[in-house]
Structure 1
Amino acid sequence: MTSTVQPFPPEAEPPPGQAFRDAMAQVASAVHVVTTIGPAGRVGMTATAVASVSDAPPTVLVCIERSSRTLAAIEASGVFCVNTLPGDLVGTAEIFANRRGLQGEERFAAGDWGTLVTGSPALRDALAAFDCRLVASHDIATHRVLVGEVAGLGGAGRGGSLIYRRRQFEAV
C-alpha cells in the first residue's frame, strides 16, 4: 500500500492566529528566563522559543517579540543569558512573564543571580545558563530571532525541568 501526500495548495489561507495559538498550547516547551544588562540595569523575560543551533561554535537562538523592552536592551548591549528553569521555580517564570506586577530590577529580588562572562544576569539555580554574545538577528513576522554564540556556561544542573503547556507552567 502506498500513500500519496497531497501538496499544500498555494492559494490556501494559513490557519487563523487563534487556531494556531491553541494548537501551539498543546506543545510542551522548556521555560527559560532571558536576561541582559543595559543602561537602565538588569532586565529579563520568560521565553519558551529557545533552541540549540550548533555546538561548533556553541550557539543558541531565542525568539522575542519586537516590541519587547528586553529585546531593545539585548540589541543595545550585544549580550544575553538564557537561564533554563528547574521545576521548582514557577514563581520566577511568573515574575518574568509579567504575571506578578514586578518590573525591571525588582524582578531580580527573587533568586540568586550572578554573572558569567558577558555581565548578563545568570541564575545560579538554573538547570543551565547559556551566556551569549549576539551574533545575528532576523525579523520574522512579529518577532526577532536572535542568535547568540555561547561565551560561558553556568547553572546548578540538578532537579526536574519547568515546562509550559496548555497555557500553564508545570514541573516534570
Structure 2
Amino acid sequence: MIESADFKNAMSLLASAVNVVTTAGTSGRHGLTASAVCSVTDTPPTLLVCMNQSSRSHAHFIENKILCVNVLSAQHEQISNAFASSKLNSEQRFKQAAWTELETGSPVLKDALVSFDCEIEHIQQVGTHSVFMCRVIAIQQNHPKEGLVYFNRAYHYVSEVELV
C-alpha cells in the first residue's frame, strides 16, 4: 500500500500551473488556489477542478454552481499566496487584485494569463476531494510573458523561448 506522504512527495515532482479558482452567487464571493485543474475535452469545452472537501470554500462552490479558473502569470505569486492563506477572509483575498466578470458572474482576474468561466455540470466525490466537471462558457485571454507553475513545493516561472 502506498503511504499518503509518499504519494504527496511523488506528486510534488509533477509540475502544474497555478490557478486561483473563484465563485460568486447566493453563497457570496469565494476563491482558492489550486493546481489540480486540467482539460477534459474540447467538444464541448470542459475542464475538471479537484477541490478538498475540507476547504472552507468547498460548500460555496457547490451552492453557487459556477466557477472561474484563473491561470496565473509570474506576476501573481502574491495572489496565489493570498488565496491559499488560512489567515485571510474572502474579502481580504479579493482586495489583492482587480476583478471583472464574464458570463457566469464568477470573479475573473483582469490580468490572468487566461480565465475559463464555467458552469459546474457534475460533481464526483473521490476520497477527500470533489471533482468538479465544468463546462466552459467563456474565455478571457491576456498575453503576459511568463506563466507561474508549482514544482517540488516551490514557484517557478516558465516563458516562451524565442528562437533567433
What TM-score comes out, normalization by structure 2 length? 0.92
Unaligned runs of 5+ in 2: 159-164
Query: What residue is the counterpart of 1:114 in the other structure?
Result: 100
* CA-CA distance at 1:40 after TM superposition: 4.9
CA contact (8 A) 1:88 1:171 kept: no
* Matching residue within 150, 153, 158 for 1:164: 150
Query: Per-residue CA shift, 1:27-62, capped at 9, x if unaligned?
Result: 111000000013353110000000001111110000
- Of the two, which has the highest radius of gyration? 1
> What residue is the counterpart of 2:21 in the other structure?
34
Secondary structure in 2 matching 1:38? coil
Aligned residues, how many?
158
TM-score between both structures, scaled by the size of structure 1? 0.88
Which among 63, 77, 82 is matched to residue 95 of structure 1? 82
Q: What code does the residue aligned with 2:13 have?
A: Q
Residue matched to 1:127: 113
Contact 1:63 1:144 in 2 (8 A): yes
Q: Structure 2: how far apart are the matches of 1:151 and 1:71?
A: 21
Q: Which letter maps to 1:133?
A: E
The one-letter amino acid of 1:96's match is F
Counterparts of 1:10-29 in structure 2, within 5 Å, are 13=1, 15-29=2-16
Root-mean-square deviation (CA), in Å?
Answer: 1.2
Structure 1 consecutive aligned stretches of length 4 or more whose deviation exceeds 6 Å? none
- State the identity %: 40
Q: Unaligned stretches of 5+ in structure 1? A: 1-12
Distance 2:38 2:143 in 1: 17
Are residue 66 (structure 1) and residue 22 (structure 2) matched? Answer: no
